[in-house]
Amino acid sequence: MEKTDTVLEEMLKNFEEKINRGDAIEPKDKMPDGYRKHLIRQMSQHAHSEVIGMQPEGNWITRAPSLRAKQILLAKIQDEGGHGLYLYSAAETLGISRSELINQLHTGKAKYSNIFNYPTLNWADIGAIGWLVDGAAIVNQVSLQRTSYGPYSRAMVRICKEESFHQRQGYEIMAKMMAGTKEQQEMAQDAMNRWWWPSLMMFGPHDGDSPHTGDAFKWKIKRHSNDELRHKFIDKTVQQAEVIGLTIPDKDLKWNEAKGHYDHGAINWDEFYRTINGNGPCNRQRLAHHIKVHNEGAWVREAAEAYRAKKEKAIFNN
Protein backbone atom coordinates (compact mmCIF):
# COMPACT_ATOMS: atom_id res chain seq x y z
CA MET A 1 0.00 0.00 0.00
CA GLU A 2 1.30 3.49 -0.91
CA LYS A 3 2.08 5.88 1.92
CA THR A 4 -0.47 8.39 0.58
CA ASP A 5 -3.21 5.70 0.70
CA THR A 6 -2.47 5.06 4.38
CA VAL A 7 -2.62 8.79 5.14
CA LEU A 8 -5.92 9.11 3.30
CA GLU A 9 -7.40 6.10 5.06
CA GLU A 10 -6.33 7.48 8.42
CA MET A 11 -7.91 10.85 7.55
CA LEU A 12 -11.18 9.20 6.54
CA LYS A 13 -11.22 7.07 9.69
CA ASN A 14 -10.74 10.15 11.91
CA PHE A 15 -13.44 12.02 10.04
CA GLU A 16 -15.94 9.16 10.30
CA GLU A 17 -15.21 8.70 14.00
CA LYS A 18 -15.93 12.36 14.59
CA ILE A 19 -19.17 12.19 12.64
CA ASN A 20 -20.25 9.06 14.51
CA ARG A 21 -19.48 10.62 17.90
CA GLY A 22 -21.59 13.64 16.89
CA ASP A 23 -18.61 16.05 17.07
CA ALA A 24 -18.74 19.15 14.89
CA ILE A 25 -16.44 19.25 11.86
CA GLU A 26 -14.51 22.52 11.82
CA PRO A 27 -12.89 24.37 8.86
CA LYS A 28 -9.33 23.21 9.61
CA ASP A 29 -10.33 19.56 10.08
CA LYS A 30 -9.48 17.15 7.30
CA MET A 31 -12.64 16.15 5.43
CA PRO A 32 -13.47 14.12 2.32
CA ASP A 33 -13.84 16.12 -0.86
CA GLY A 34 -17.40 14.87 -1.29
CA TYR A 35 -18.39 16.30 2.10
CA ARG A 36 -16.82 19.66 1.28
CA LYS A 37 -18.55 19.82 -2.13
CA HIS A 38 -21.91 18.75 -0.69
CA LEU A 39 -21.74 21.53 1.88
CA ILE A 40 -20.62 24.18 -0.60
CA ARG A 41 -23.58 23.26 -2.82
CA GLN A 42 -26.16 23.34 -0.03
CA MET A 43 -24.82 26.30 1.94
CA SER A 44 -24.32 28.47 -1.13
CA GLN A 45 -27.82 27.67 -2.36
CA HIS A 46 -29.09 28.55 1.08
CA ALA A 47 -27.18 31.88 1.03
CA HIS A 48 -28.42 32.73 -2.48
CA SER A 49 -31.99 32.00 -1.34
CA GLU A 50 -31.73 34.45 1.53
CA VAL A 51 -30.47 37.22 -0.74
CA ILE A 52 -32.75 36.57 -3.75
CA GLY A 53 -35.59 36.26 -1.21
CA MET A 54 -35.19 39.96 -0.45
CA GLN A 55 -36.59 40.84 -3.89
CA PRO A 56 -40.24 39.71 -3.65
CA GLU A 57 -40.61 41.42 -0.27
CA GLY A 58 -38.65 44.52 -1.28
CA ASN A 59 -41.34 45.05 -3.89
CA TRP A 60 -43.75 46.12 -1.10
CA ILE A 61 -41.58 48.42 1.06
CA THR A 62 -42.88 51.59 -0.59
CA ARG A 63 -46.48 50.37 -0.45
CA ALA A 64 -46.68 49.04 3.11
CA PRO A 65 -50.06 50.05 4.58
CA SER A 66 -48.64 51.88 7.66
CA LEU A 67 -45.38 53.26 9.01
CA ARG A 68 -45.29 50.40 11.55
CA ALA A 69 -45.74 47.80 8.80
CA LYS A 70 -43.01 49.48 6.72
CA GLN A 71 -40.53 49.50 9.64
CA ILE A 72 -41.17 45.82 10.35
CA LEU A 73 -40.83 44.83 6.70
CA LEU A 74 -37.60 46.84 6.32
CA ALA A 75 -36.11 45.18 9.40
CA LYS A 76 -37.11 41.74 8.16
CA ILE A 77 -35.60 42.21 4.71
CA GLN A 78 -32.42 43.55 6.27
CA ASP A 79 -32.27 40.41 8.44
CA GLU A 80 -32.53 38.22 5.33
CA GLY A 81 -29.55 40.07 3.80
CA GLY A 82 -27.64 39.42 7.04
CA HIS A 83 -28.51 35.71 6.89
CA GLY A 84 -27.08 35.60 3.38
CA LEU A 85 -23.86 37.17 4.67
CA TYR A 86 -23.43 34.70 7.56
CA LEU A 87 -24.00 31.83 5.15
CA TYR A 88 -21.60 33.13 2.48
CA SER A 89 -18.95 33.57 5.19
CA ALA A 90 -19.61 30.07 6.49
CA ALA A 91 -19.36 28.66 2.93
CA GLU A 92 -16.07 30.53 2.38
CA THR A 93 -14.52 28.55 5.27
CA LEU A 94 -14.74 25.54 2.93
CA GLY A 95 -12.20 27.10 0.59
CA ILE A 96 -14.33 28.81 -2.05
CA SER A 97 -14.34 32.56 -2.65
CA ARG A 98 -17.38 34.81 -2.47
CA SER A 99 -16.87 35.89 -6.10
CA GLU A 100 -16.91 32.25 -7.26
CA LEU A 101 -20.11 31.62 -5.30
CA ILE A 102 -21.78 34.63 -6.92
CA ASN A 103 -20.48 33.59 -10.32
CA GLN A 104 -22.10 30.17 -9.86
CA LEU A 105 -25.42 31.89 -9.11
CA HIS A 106 -25.17 34.19 -12.13
CA THR A 107 -24.27 31.39 -14.53
CA GLY A 108 -27.08 29.11 -13.30
CA LYS A 109 -24.70 26.53 -11.78
CA ALA A 110 -26.02 27.17 -8.28
CA LYS A 111 -29.70 27.12 -7.48
CA TYR A 112 -31.76 29.11 -4.97
CA SER A 113 -35.08 28.22 -3.37
CA ASN A 114 -37.99 27.60 -5.76
CA ILE A 115 -40.22 29.86 -3.64
CA PHE A 116 -38.62 33.15 -4.62
CA ASN A 117 -39.61 32.78 -8.25
CA TYR A 118 -43.24 33.68 -7.55
CA PRO A 119 -44.57 37.26 -7.73
CA THR A 120 -45.88 39.28 -4.77
CA LEU A 121 -49.14 40.68 -6.16
CA ASN A 122 -50.57 42.39 -3.09
CA TRP A 123 -49.99 43.07 0.61
CA ALA A 124 -51.46 39.72 1.68
CA ASP A 125 -48.55 38.06 -0.15
CA ILE A 126 -46.18 39.69 2.34
CA GLY A 127 -48.21 38.07 5.13
CA ALA A 128 -48.12 34.72 3.33
CA ILE A 129 -44.34 34.88 2.81
CA GLY A 130 -43.67 35.65 6.47
CA TRP A 131 -46.11 33.06 7.77
CA LEU A 132 -45.66 30.21 5.27
CA VAL A 133 -42.22 30.75 3.70
CA ASP A 134 -40.42 31.75 6.90
CA GLY A 135 -42.50 29.12 8.71
CA ALA A 136 -41.22 26.42 6.33
CA ALA A 137 -37.68 27.82 6.49
CA ILE A 138 -37.70 27.61 10.32
CA VAL A 139 -38.77 23.97 10.36
CA ASN A 140 -35.88 23.14 8.03
CA GLN A 141 -33.36 25.37 9.79
CA VAL A 142 -34.16 24.21 13.33
CA SER A 143 -33.20 20.75 12.14
CA LEU A 144 -30.01 22.17 10.56
CA GLN A 145 -28.93 23.64 13.92
CA ARG A 146 -27.61 20.13 14.55
CA THR A 147 -25.92 19.74 11.19
CA SER A 148 -22.38 18.34 11.39
CA TYR A 149 -20.44 21.31 10.01
CA GLY A 150 -19.72 23.73 12.87
CA PRO A 151 -19.89 27.10 11.04
CA TYR A 152 -23.18 26.11 9.33
CA SER A 153 -24.79 24.88 12.53
CA ARG A 154 -23.77 28.03 14.46
CA ALA A 155 -25.12 30.27 11.68
CA MET A 156 -28.43 28.37 11.92
CA VAL A 157 -28.79 29.03 15.65
CA ARG A 158 -28.66 32.76 15.11
CA ILE A 159 -30.77 32.71 11.96
CA CYS A 160 -33.55 30.69 13.61
CA LYS A 161 -34.00 33.30 16.33
CA GLU A 162 -34.63 35.96 13.71
CA GLU A 163 -36.81 33.74 11.52
CA SER A 164 -39.29 33.15 14.32
CA PHE A 165 -39.90 36.91 14.52
CA HIS A 166 -40.40 36.90 10.73
CA GLN A 167 -42.92 34.10 10.93
CA ARG A 168 -44.93 35.94 13.58
CA GLN A 169 -45.02 39.21 11.66
CA GLY A 170 -46.39 37.31 8.65
CA TYR A 171 -49.02 35.58 10.74
CA GLU A 172 -50.02 38.91 12.27
CA ILE A 173 -50.61 40.37 8.80
CA MET A 174 -52.78 37.38 7.83
CA ALA A 175 -54.69 37.45 11.14
CA LYS A 176 -55.39 41.19 10.74
CA MET A 177 -56.65 40.73 7.20
CA MET A 178 -58.88 37.82 8.26
CA ALA A 179 -60.39 40.07 10.96
CA GLY A 180 -61.01 42.79 8.37
CA THR A 181 -63.44 43.39 5.50
CA LYS A 182 -64.72 40.69 3.14
CA GLU A 183 -62.29 41.97 0.47
CA GLN A 184 -59.34 41.69 2.87
CA GLN A 185 -60.38 38.15 3.82
CA GLU A 186 -60.56 37.21 0.14
CA MET A 187 -57.11 38.68 -0.49
CA ALA A 188 -55.66 36.66 2.41
CA GLN A 189 -57.28 33.44 1.19
CA ASP A 190 -56.10 34.11 -2.37
CA ALA A 191 -52.51 34.59 -1.13
CA MET A 192 -52.81 31.37 0.89
CA ASN A 193 -54.02 29.52 -2.23
CA ARG A 194 -51.06 30.74 -4.29
CA TRP A 195 -48.27 30.25 -1.68
CA TRP A 196 -49.33 26.98 -0.03
CA TRP A 197 -48.11 24.50 -2.65
CA PRO A 198 -44.82 26.26 -3.50
CA SER A 199 -44.14 26.39 0.28
CA LEU A 200 -44.53 22.60 0.50
CA MET A 201 -42.08 22.30 -2.42
CA MET A 202 -39.45 24.20 -0.41
CA PHE A 203 -38.62 20.96 1.43
CA GLY A 204 -37.43 19.38 -1.81
CA PRO A 205 -38.51 16.21 -3.63
CA HIS A 206 -40.04 13.23 -1.82
CA ASP A 207 -37.48 11.12 0.03
CA GLY A 208 -37.32 8.42 -2.63
CA ASP A 209 -36.58 11.04 -5.33
CA SER A 210 -33.98 13.05 -3.40
CA PRO A 211 -30.51 12.20 -4.76
CA HIS A 212 -28.53 14.00 -2.03
CA THR A 213 -30.33 12.64 1.05
CA GLY A 214 -28.23 9.44 1.30
CA ASP A 215 -24.91 11.26 1.67
CA ALA A 216 -26.53 14.00 3.74
CA PHE A 217 -27.67 11.43 6.33
CA LYS A 218 -24.40 9.52 6.23
CA TRP A 219 -22.47 12.70 7.03
CA LYS A 220 -25.14 14.04 9.44
CA ILE A 221 -25.59 17.15 7.31
CA LYS A 222 -29.32 16.43 7.29
CA ARG A 223 -30.92 15.21 10.53
CA HIS A 224 -34.44 14.81 9.10
CA SER A 225 -35.61 13.87 5.63
CA ASN A 226 -37.43 16.20 3.22
CA ASP A 227 -40.78 14.46 3.85
CA GLU A 228 -40.37 14.39 7.64
CA LEU A 229 -39.85 18.15 7.70
CA ARG A 230 -42.67 18.80 5.21
CA HIS A 231 -45.06 16.86 7.48
CA LYS A 232 -43.89 18.77 10.53
CA PHE A 233 -44.61 22.06 8.75
CA ILE A 234 -48.06 20.95 7.56
CA ASP A 235 -49.09 19.70 11.01
CA LYS A 236 -48.33 22.97 12.75
CA THR A 237 -49.60 25.23 9.95
CA VAL A 238 -53.02 23.59 9.56
CA GLN A 239 -53.88 24.54 13.14
CA GLN A 240 -52.66 28.11 12.70
CA ALA A 241 -54.82 28.48 9.55
CA GLU A 242 -57.89 27.19 11.41
CA VAL A 243 -57.45 29.72 14.23
CA ILE A 244 -57.74 32.69 11.87
CA GLY A 245 -60.31 31.14 9.51
CA LEU A 246 -58.16 30.37 6.46
CA THR A 247 -58.76 27.24 4.39
CA ILE A 248 -55.83 25.09 3.28
CA PRO A 249 -56.25 24.69 -0.50
CA ASP A 250 -55.96 20.90 -0.48
CA LYS A 251 -59.13 18.81 -0.67
CA ASP A 252 -57.13 15.67 0.13
CA LEU A 253 -55.70 17.01 3.39
CA LYS A 254 -56.76 14.59 6.12
CA TRP A 255 -55.56 13.73 9.62
CA ASN A 256 -54.02 10.26 9.68
CA GLU A 257 -54.49 8.85 13.15
CA ALA A 258 -52.18 5.87 12.59
CA LYS A 259 -49.28 7.99 11.31
CA GLY A 260 -49.94 10.86 13.71
CA HIS A 261 -49.85 13.55 11.04
CA TYR A 262 -51.82 14.98 8.10
CA ASP A 263 -51.82 13.25 4.73
CA HIS A 264 -51.71 15.78 1.90
CA GLY A 265 -52.67 15.85 -1.78
CA ALA A 266 -50.28 15.41 -4.71
CA ILE A 267 -47.60 18.06 -5.16
CA ASN A 268 -47.06 19.33 -8.71
CA TRP A 269 -43.45 18.23 -9.21
CA ASP A 270 -43.47 19.32 -12.87
CA GLU A 271 -43.97 22.88 -11.63
CA PHE A 272 -41.19 22.41 -9.04
CA TYR A 273 -38.59 21.16 -11.53
CA ARG A 274 -39.61 23.75 -14.14
CA THR A 275 -39.10 26.46 -11.52
CA ILE A 276 -35.78 25.29 -10.07
CA ASN A 277 -34.42 24.81 -13.57
CA GLY A 278 -34.96 28.45 -14.46
CA ASN A 279 -38.47 28.57 -15.93
CA GLY A 280 -40.71 29.67 -13.07
CA PRO A 281 -42.77 32.88 -13.28
CA CYS A 282 -40.01 35.27 -12.10
CA ASN A 283 -36.65 33.45 -12.52
CA ARG A 284 -35.31 35.72 -15.25
CA GLN A 285 -36.40 38.88 -13.45
CA ARG A 286 -34.82 37.77 -10.15
CA LEU A 287 -31.47 36.85 -11.68
CA ALA A 288 -31.32 39.90 -13.98
CA HIS A 289 -31.93 42.17 -10.98
CA HIS A 290 -29.20 40.45 -8.94
CA ILE A 291 -26.69 40.73 -11.80
CA LYS A 292 -27.52 44.41 -12.39
CA VAL A 293 -27.17 45.37 -8.72
CA HIS A 294 -24.01 43.30 -8.35
CA ASN A 295 -22.41 45.08 -11.32
CA GLU A 296 -23.51 48.49 -10.08
CA GLY A 297 -21.96 47.70 -6.69
CA ALA A 298 -18.52 46.87 -8.11
CA TRP A 299 -17.12 50.24 -7.02
CA VAL A 300 -18.12 49.54 -3.40
CA ARG A 301 -16.22 46.24 -3.41
CA GLU A 302 -13.21 47.92 -5.03
CA ALA A 303 -13.24 50.76 -2.46
CA ALA A 304 -13.55 48.29 0.45
CA GLU A 305 -10.65 46.22 -0.92
CA ALA A 306 -8.48 49.33 -1.43
CA TYR A 307 -9.20 50.38 2.18
CA ARG A 308 -8.35 46.90 3.48
CA ALA A 309 -5.08 46.81 1.49
CA LYS A 310 -4.12 50.27 2.77
CA LYS A 311 -4.78 49.24 6.39
CA GLU A 312 -2.82 46.03 5.95
CA LYS A 313 0.14 47.93 4.49
CA ALA A 314 0.05 50.38 7.39
CA ILE A 315 0.05 47.52 9.92
CA PHE A 316 2.93 45.63 8.28
CA ASN A 317 5.03 48.79 7.78
CA ASN A 318 4.89 49.51 11.50
Residue ranges binding ligand FAQ (CB under 6 A)? 41-42, 45-46, 49-50, 53, 57, 80, 111, 113-114, 129, 133-134, 137, 140, 201-205, 210-213, 216, 226, 276
Comparison of 46 and 220: residue with beta carbon closer to ligand FAQ: 46
Shortest Å distance, C-beta 122 to ligand FAQ:
17
* Residue of this chain nearest to ligand FAQ (CB atom): 53
- Give Cα separations from 83 to 47, 51, 159, 172, 191 (angstroms): 7, 8, 6, 22, 25
Q: Are 138 and 131 in contact (CB under 8 A)?
A: no
Q: Cα–Cα distance between 35 and 206 in angstroms, integer?
A: 22
Look at residue 303 and give its three-state secondary structure.
helix
> What residue spans of the chain are helical by DSSP H?
3-21, 33-52, 54-58, 67-92, 98-106, 123-128, 134-144, 150-178, 182-201, 213-218, 226-244, 269-274, 283-296, 298-317
Q: Are 135 and 168 in contact (CB under 8 A)?
A: no
Shortest Å distance, C-beta 90 to ligand FAQ:
12
Shortest Å distance, C-beta 147 to ligand FAQ:
9
Shortest Å distance, C-beta 286 to ligand FAQ:
12
Q: Cα–Cα distance between 73 and 94 in angstroms, integer?
A: 33
Comparison of 127 and 205: residue with beta carbon closer to ligand FAQ: 205
Comparison of 255 and 273: residue with beta carbon closer to ligand FAQ: 273
Comparison of 185 and 268: residue with beta carbon closer to ligand FAQ: 268
Comparison of 50 and 250: residue with beta carbon closer to ligand FAQ: 50
Shortest Å distance, C-beta 79 to ligand FAQ:
9
Comparison of 31 and 51: residue with beta carbon closer to ligand FAQ: 51
Shortest Å distance, C-beta 262 to ligand FAQ:
20
Shortest Å distance, C-beta 17 to ligand FAQ:
24
Q: Indicate if the alpha-carbon torsion angle 55, 59, 65, 67 is positive or negative.
A: positive
Q: Cα–Cα distance between 79 and 74 in angstroms, integer?
A: 9
Comparison of 273 and 307: residue with beta carbon closer to ligand FAQ: 273
